[in-house]
């Protein structure tokens, strides 16, 4: 009986961690800023999730850890700048419909550009290093340098401005807590994408093949599925998601420079480690945890903000050495 | 040679003893290594000037740094991104001692020793925490820890000087105003920086030969076996985690000593100089270009990349001046884009020459 209870605790503890942190932050911060910070943390988390989920799926399916994933974030952000410049007429007006159409166009363009680059990247770079982890790390680091430098060649070394659309500026008040409109919109978009991804993975035939491939690649191959074709699809989807993340992140910061992807790399890796490599659910919880921690700690002890996520990772690793939701070894 | 003679071990000559029975290899590589050794030994006289002296010192320091990284990457098969952290720990050890007002050889030695000790403890801790996991985990964790170290160095202003770093005075003998001889020797004034260079050079030579001894010892054999097949080594009764951690600790101590030399040479230390991620990329470039799994590769890699850093920009400036009219091409060859070209070389080498330059030169015999 007692053993049973312990097992339950062990199974559910990773799920309970996020709500517990949110609740624990309430008395420490005070109700007013707490709501603002929680929404900010959730938004940051969902944007990080878009970037990290592609990486974790690619790793789970093909055992490839792409250190150049951040480059697709950068590309997505820069493509957004290019696309929104001629559409400035639409984003500067206060009409919500026109704003949203412009953003949708930018989102699709960012995802399409990153996805297309991902296709080329898989063909040229990743294909030659399957099953060689050491060379994977080296070659993707080299490719990261090349893409970032090419971005500077194309768009120039200076930072570019990326203003938020007119109707998404400012804040709404819930009680006495100000909440930025853009954050709410980004949160909605991010949740919609996450939900779509969940439905795809859980409810479609192809999603089933992807999940099965993560569990046991050889078995899926033996059943007659062309796993390499599935993988190219997942790779493109993953890089497209990274591009979307870059678009949303760049617009949130209202400025884009060539380091925008690099600044995310460490956070994304922390999320993957916290969640357990290859696990999409773990990636979601890890991303939300990192987003919340950054915002709470940034408020309570600004000096600690940058390092807090790394301390969070160390704490979780001491507790669960293989992450919160470890996948089967393969 | 009769079959029986093959098993008679020749008593090693002193030259062979010095290089731990692991000479560079074919005649061409031997000559190249000897030429490099002589060039570095007489660098202040062969290449006079402050810039050339700085480049030579940098090459020496990076030879240690890259060789120690190869101990992990090439010999044990561990990818760490925290190597600059250990480099930085050593540099800050010396920098903090000297910047806090105690100027003397005691401070330098104590600082270097403290840096090496801290690096060893940190490396052992990281190793025991994460080396039992899959290799990829270790890489990601070291990346996070290295960025944490950078944050600490930037935030802990009282101790590290924050982003500005620390400028400090070195012992009197190493200052530019000190002259060892009243007259120039072969036209070169033997002043503090030249003496610092020779300290660096001798330290590099000793540490390099020490590492050569380590990789050719029974310990080195176990490390290489782990790289090839860790399960088999585990099955033979070796504690893989312990050996990997030991490789990490040795590598970290060497990197810290290289950092201490860097601080002495620059008379300055800050996060950008010894902790930045781009420095980590440089180290990776050097190991891969020179050739993983061969310490002589570290020498070649360090020389090629350091020279490229200092002189590739000039070459690019010449090219971009020649094609100034063409819009995209001149952006591609802009002097600031040297990293792009190094990146391309890097990818090409990983693709077509995975053993690196030295690996290729050695593999033919």
Judged against a pLDDT cut of 80, whether residue A89 lies above it is answered with: no
Judged against a pLDDT cut of 60, whether residue B2 lies above it is answered with: no
**Sequence-separated (6 or more) residues with CB below 8 Å from residue B115:** B89, B90, B91, B92, B93, B94, B256, B257, B259, B260
Residue ranges making up the domain that contains B209: 24-363
- The terminus-to-terminus CA distance of chain A in angstroms comes to 34
Residues 279 through 298 of chain B touching chain A, CB cutoff 8 Å: 281, 284, 288
Residue B257: beta bridge partners? none
Q: What was the pLDDT predicted at A330? A: 39
Judged against a pLDDT cut of 80, whether residue B116 lies above it is answered with: yes
Contact indicator for A65, A137 with CB cutoff of 8 Å: yes
Q: How many H-runs (helices) and E-runs (strands) does chain B carry?
A: 19, 2
Which of helix, strand or coil describes residue A41? helix
The first and second tokens of residue A34, run together, are 């707490």
Q: State the average pLDDT over residues B116-139.
A: 84
Judged against a pLDDT cut of 80, whether residue A9 lies above it is answered with: no
CB burial of A289-310 (b: ≥16 within 10 Å; e: otherwise) equals bbbbbbbbbbbeeeeebbbbbb
Instruction: Note the pLDDT tens digit of each residue in B161-171.
Output: 777 878 777 77
Q: State the average pLDDT over residues B57-61.
A: 92
Burial class (CB in 10 A: 0-12, 13-18, 19+), A172: exposed
- Residue whose token pair is 């990997």: B244
Query: How many angstroms away from the CA of B332 is the closest CA of chain A?
Result: 6
Highest mean pLDDT among A61-65, A155-159, B120-124: B120-124
A266 vs B contacts (CB less than 8 Å): 143-144, 147
- Residue whose token pair is 């030399």: B261
Does a structural domain hold residue B11? no
SS3 for A82-118 is HHHCCCHHHHHCCCHHHHHHHHHHHHHHHHHHHHHHH
Q: State the average pLDDT over residues A272-288.
A: 87
- Residue whose token pair is 């357990």: A276
Calculated CA dihedral for residues A66, A71, A76, A81, nearest 10 degrees: 180
Pairing of strands A177-180, A171-174: antiparallel
Q: Is A324 on the interface with B (CB under 8 A)?
A: no
For the domain that residue B269 is a member of, what is the CATH number?
1.10.3470
Q: Is B1 on the interface with A (CB under 8 A)?
A: no
Interface residue of A123, A149, A302, A313 to substitute, partner B, most B CBs within 10 Å: A149
Does a structural domain hold residue B2? no
Instruction: Note the pLDDT tens digit of each residue in B334-350.
Output: 777 777 888 888 888 88
Q: State the average pLDDT over residues B56-64.
A: 93
Judged against a pLDDT cut of 90, whether residue A78 lies above it is answered with: yes
Instruction: Note the pLDDT tens digit of each residue in A33-69.
Output: 888 888 889 999 999 999 999 888 888 887 888 889 9
Does a structural domain hold residue B112? yes
Q: What was the pLDDT predicted at B365? A: 46
Instruction: Note the pLDDT tens digit of each residue in A195-249.
Output: 998 898 888 988 888 888 888 888 888 988 888 888 889 999 999 999 999 998 8
pLDDT tier, B247 (very low <50, low <70, confident <90, very high otherwise): very high
Judged against a pLDDT cut of 80, whether residue A88 lies above it is answered with: no
Highest mean pLDDT among A21-25, B156-160, B254-258: B254-258
User: Do A153 and B340 count as a contact with CB atoms less than 8 A apart?
Assistant: yes
Residue B167: beta bridge partners? B268
Q: What was the pLDDT predicted at B11? A: 55
Q: Is B133 on the interface with A (CB under 8 A)?
A: yes
Which of helix, strand or coil describes residue A253? helix
Interface residue of A126, A141, A154, A323 to substitute, partner B, most B CBs within 10 Å: A141
Helices B218-228/B240-266 angle, 10° precision: 110
Q: What was the pLDDT predicted at A77? A: 92
Q: Residue B140: closest CA among chain A residues belongs to which residue? A: A269
Residues 242 through 271 of chain A touching chain B, CB cutoff 8 Å: 262, 265-266, 269-270
Does a structural domain hold residue B306? yes
B277 vs A contacts (CB less than 8 Å): 262
- How crowded is residue B266: how many other Cβ atoms within 10 Å of its Cβ? 22
Tally the domains of chain B.
Answer: 1
Does a structural domain hold residue B171? yes
ipTM associated with this complex: 0.80
């Amino acid at each position: 009986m007692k053993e049973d209870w312990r097992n339950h605790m062990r199974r559910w503890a990773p799920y309970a961690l996020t709500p517990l942190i949110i609740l624990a932050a309430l008395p420490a911060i005070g109700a007013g800023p707490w709501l603002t910070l929680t929404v900010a943390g959730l938004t940051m988390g969902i944007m990080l999730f878009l970037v990290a989920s592609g990486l974790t799926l690619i790793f789970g399916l093909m055992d490839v850890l792409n250190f150049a994933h951040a480059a697709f974030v950068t590309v997505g952000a820069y493509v957004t700048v290019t696309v929104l410049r001629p559409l400035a007429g639409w984003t500067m007006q206060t009409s919500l419909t026109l704003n949203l159409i412009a953003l949708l166009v930018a989102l699709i363009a960012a995802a399409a550009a990153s996805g297309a680059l991902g296709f080329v990247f898989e063909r040229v770079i990743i294909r030659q290093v399957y099953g060689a982890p050491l060379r994977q790390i080296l070659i993707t680091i080299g490719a990261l340098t090349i893409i970032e430098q090419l971005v500077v060649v194309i768009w120039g070394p200076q930072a570019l401005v990326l203003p938020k659309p007119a109707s998404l500026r400012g804040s709404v008040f819930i009680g006495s807590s100000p909440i930025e409109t853009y954050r709410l919109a980004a949160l909605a978009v991010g949740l919609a994408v996450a939900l779509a991804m969940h439905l795809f993975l859980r409810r479609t035939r192809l999603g089933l093949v992807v999940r099965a491939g993560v569990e046991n690649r050889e078995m899926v191959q033996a059943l007659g599925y062309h796993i390499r074709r599935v993988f190219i699809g997942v790779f493109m989807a993953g890089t497209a998601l990274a591009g979307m993340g870059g678009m949303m992140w760049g617009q949130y910061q209202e400025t884009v420079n060539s380091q925008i992807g690099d600044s995310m790399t460490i956070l994304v890796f922390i999320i993957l480690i916290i969640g357990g490599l290859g696990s999409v659910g773990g990636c979601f919880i890890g991303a939300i945890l990192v987003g919340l921690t950054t915002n709470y700690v940034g408020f309570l002890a600004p000096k600690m903000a940058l390092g807090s996520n790394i301390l969070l990772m160390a704490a979780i690793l001491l507790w669960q050495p293989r992450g919160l939701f470890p996948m089967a070894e393969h | 040679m009769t079959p029986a003679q093959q098993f008679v071990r020749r008593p090693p000559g002193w030259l062979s003893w010095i290089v731990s029975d692991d000479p560079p290899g074919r005649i061409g590589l031997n000559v190249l290594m000897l030429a490099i050794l002589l060039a570095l030994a007489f660098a202040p006289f062969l290449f006079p000037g402050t810039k050339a002296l700085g480049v030579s010192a940098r090459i020496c320091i990076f030879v240690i740094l890259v060789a120690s990284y190869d101990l992990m990457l090439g010999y044990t098969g561990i990818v760490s991104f925290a190597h600059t952290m250990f480099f930085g720990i050593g540099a800050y050890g010396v920098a903090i001692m000297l910047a806090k007002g105690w100027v003397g050889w005691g401070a330098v030695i104590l600082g270097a020793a403290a840096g090496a000790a801290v690096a060893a403890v940190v490396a052992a801790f990281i190793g025991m925490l994460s080396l039992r996991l899959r290799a990829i985990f270790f890489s990601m964790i070291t990346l996070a820890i290295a960025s944490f170290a950078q944050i600490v160095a930037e935030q802990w202003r009282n101790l590290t000087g924050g982003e500005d770093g620390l400028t400090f005075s070195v012992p009197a003998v190493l200052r530019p105003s000190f002259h060892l001889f009243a007259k120039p020797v072969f036209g070169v004034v033997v002043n503090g920086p030249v003496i610092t260079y020779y300290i660096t050079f001798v330290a590099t030579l000793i540490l390099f030969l020490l590492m050569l001894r380590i990789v050719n010892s029974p310990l080195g054999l176990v490390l290489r076996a782990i790289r090839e097949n860790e399960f088999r080594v585990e099955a033979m009764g070796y504690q893989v985690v312990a050996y990997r951690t030991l490789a990490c600790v040795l590598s970290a101590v060497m990197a810290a000593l290289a950092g201490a030399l860097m601080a002495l040479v620059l008379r300055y230390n800050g996060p950008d100089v010894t902790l930045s991620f781009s420095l980590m990329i440089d180290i990776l470039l050097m190991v891969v270009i020179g050739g993983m799994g061969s310490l002589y590769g570290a020498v070649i890699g360090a020389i090629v990349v350091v020279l490229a850093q200092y002189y590739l920009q000039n070459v690019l400036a010449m090219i971009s001046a020649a094609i100034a009219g063409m819009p995209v091409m001149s952006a591609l060859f802009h002097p600031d884009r040297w990293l792009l070209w190094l990146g391309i070389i890097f990818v090409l080498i990983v693709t077509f020459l995975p053993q690196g330059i030295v690996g290729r030169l050695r593999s033919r015999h």
